[in-house]
Amino acid sequence: MLNTIQELKQKHNAVILAHYYQDPEIQDMADFVGDSLELSRKAAGTDADVILFCGVHFMAETAKIVNPNKKVIIPDMDAGCSLADSAPADLFKKWIQNHPDHIVVSYINCSAEVKALSDIICTSANAKKVVESIPENKKILFAPDRFLGKYIIKETGRDMVLWNGSCQVHEIFSEKELVKLITKHPRAKVLAHPECDENILIHANFIGSTSALINYVNNSNDTQYIIGTEPGVIHQMQKHNKNKEFIPLPTNTGCACNECPHMRLNTKDKIIDSLKNLKHEIVIDEALRIKALQPLNRMLDIV
């Protein structure tokens, strides 16, 4: 199967980019695995003709926005995101109109239409820096993740108006289960993604993007970690830290069913089908693409 993928990649001069929330076998077949920020940089810099994006729709769309002349394909067009879905462009536009004189900061987990209505984009890796780049006298709208927004308000001291969106994976982690785990494993370090609710973040020893969490593990001498994000990251953590133990944080439904259902729609078979038939292609109206590119470039210029 891997030979087939190699041959198809060569035939089409294709590169496979994958997010850390993909199945381990997909991460292992990718040319590059990263967090949202690293993947958008990688997409902007590639010289491949085809980008097969193993992630969710807004990520592949971002790759297309920065690469109009490349074919960007995704294994499953239904791989969406609850955060992106929580901000429909028409309601978002009204929200902005109701808050004149505000700078609009949008988390990259949003549609091209929402990006086009925004002043600057951020990811979880650079949200603090992006908000700090805005002059103190300017008022700020932050969308669509209210939890990331709340965390950034705390980190920067800036008073932002928040859109009421959330990630369906991160919002259901259980504080009760976390406290039980901390009691059972008192030496374990708690690592959490800023898409988590504040009741999880208050217990964290370290908060960061998926890449930042992986780097934390790689650079620390601790041997046990409780992981407060999608468990796909544990594959990379375990790979480079064979003797360390990683405990996925359970959800408030009592099970460890904390995988992103959208990310996990991608499979090896769908990847082969995508590469064979160069589908499913991301197509964006050119006028919309140009508008969405400006706030993305502002982010890429800052960090």
Phi, then psi, of 72 in degrees rounded to 5: -110, 125
Cα(48)–Cα(51) distance, integer angstroms: 7
Is residue 18 a contact residue for ligand SF4 (CB under 6 A)? no
Q: Under rule CB under 6 A, which residues in 33-92 are in contact with ligand SF4? A: 56, 81-83
Q: Under rule CB under 6 A, which residues in 133-192 are in contact with ligand SF4? A: 167-169
Residue ranges in 157-285 assigned as alpha helix (H)? 175-184, 198-201, 210-219, 233-240, 268-277
CB of 145 to ligand SF4, least distance (A): 8
Cα(258)–Cα(267) distance, integer angstroms: 18
Task: Tell me how long the chain is.
Answer: 303
CB of 20 to ligand 13P, least distance (A): 7
User: By C-beta, is 58 or 216 nearer to ligand SF4?
Assistant: 58
Is residue 14 a contact residue for ligand SF4 (CB under 6 A)? no
CB of 77 to ligand 13P, least distance (A): 17
Is residue 123 a contact residue for ligand SF4 (CB under 6 A)? no
Interface region with ligand SF4, contact rule CB under 6 A, candidates 86-94, 197-205, 260-268, 269-277: 260-268
Of 118, 210, 236, 266, the residue at the interface with ligand 13P (CB under 6 A) is 210
Cα(139)–Cα(100) distance, integer angstroms: 9
Q: What is the DSSP letter of 281?
A: B
Of 123, 174, 258, 274, the residue at the interface with ligand 13P (CB under 6 A) is 123
CB of 125 to ligand 13P, least distance (A): 6
- CA dihedral sign of residues 73, 32, 197, 132: negative
The string over 263-293, giving b where at least 16 C-beta atoms fall within 10 Å of a residue's C-beta and e elsewhere, is bbbbbbebbeebbeeeebebebeeebbebbb
Spatial neighbors of 236 by CB under 8 A, at least 6 apart, are 20, 27, 33, 214
User: By C-beta, is 21 or 92 nearer to ligand SF4?
Assistant: 21
Of 27, 67, 106, 109, the residue at the interface with ligand 13P (CB under 6 A) is 109
Applying CB under 6 A, the residues found at the interface with ligand 13P are: 35-36, 81, 109, 123-125, 167, 195, 209-210
